[in-house]
Amino acid sequence: VQLQASGGGLAQAGGSLRLSCVASGVARGFNVMAWYRRAPGKSRELVAAITRGGTPSYVNSVKGRFTVSIDIAKYTVSLQMDSLKPEDTAIYYCAAAMISVFPPKDYDYWGQGTLVTVSS
C-alpha cells in the first residue's frame, strides 16, 4: 500500500473533521499530494492539492473552510475540514504525483478512500 488514508467519519453541519494520508514506499518520493472526493451520483472532484514544498491550492467550494498541510518528515498530508456542509459528503481519496508540475494532469498513486458524511 503506497498511500493510506484515514480520518473520515460522521460530522454535523458546521463541524470539523481531519483527514490524513501517509505515503510509504516509492510514493514517499511524491512531489504533489492531493485530495479528491466523489459524492454520490457525481464525478470525482479535486478538492485540494499541495506541493512537497508546501504550496497549496483549493477548489473554490472549499476555500476558507478546508486547509491542506504537509509534514514531510512523516510523509503525511492532512486535510483539515471546518465549517462542514452536507454537500461535503463524499468518499475522499488522497493521491500522489511524482512529477514536479503543479498541478499535475495525472496522479501515480491513490489511497483507498475514506468516507465523510455530514448531516444537516
Q: Return d(Cα 78, Cα 113) in angstroms, integer.
A: 14
pLDDT per position as a tens digit, 29-80: 999 999 999 999 999 999 999 999 999 999 999 999 999 999 999 999 999 9
* High-pLDDT (> 70) share of the chain, %: 100
Which residues, at least 6 apart from 116, have a Cβ–Cβ distance to it below 8 Å?
8, 9, 11, 17, 19, 37, 81, 84, 88, 89, 90, 91, 92
Q: Return d(Cα 51, Cα 57) in angstroms, integer.
A: 9
pLDDT per position as a tens digit, 1-36: 899 999 999 999 999 999 999 999 999 999 999 999
pLDDT per position as a tens digit, 70-120: 999 999 999 999 999 999 999 999 999 999 888 899 999 999 999 999 999
Tell me what pLDDT residue 93 has: 98
Segment (H or E) for 98: none
Tell me what pLDDT residue 66 has: 98
Tell me what pLDDT residue 118 has: 98
Residue type, 38: R
Q: Return d(Cα 53, Cα 71) in angstroms, integer.
A: 10
Tell me what pLDDT residue 79 has: 98
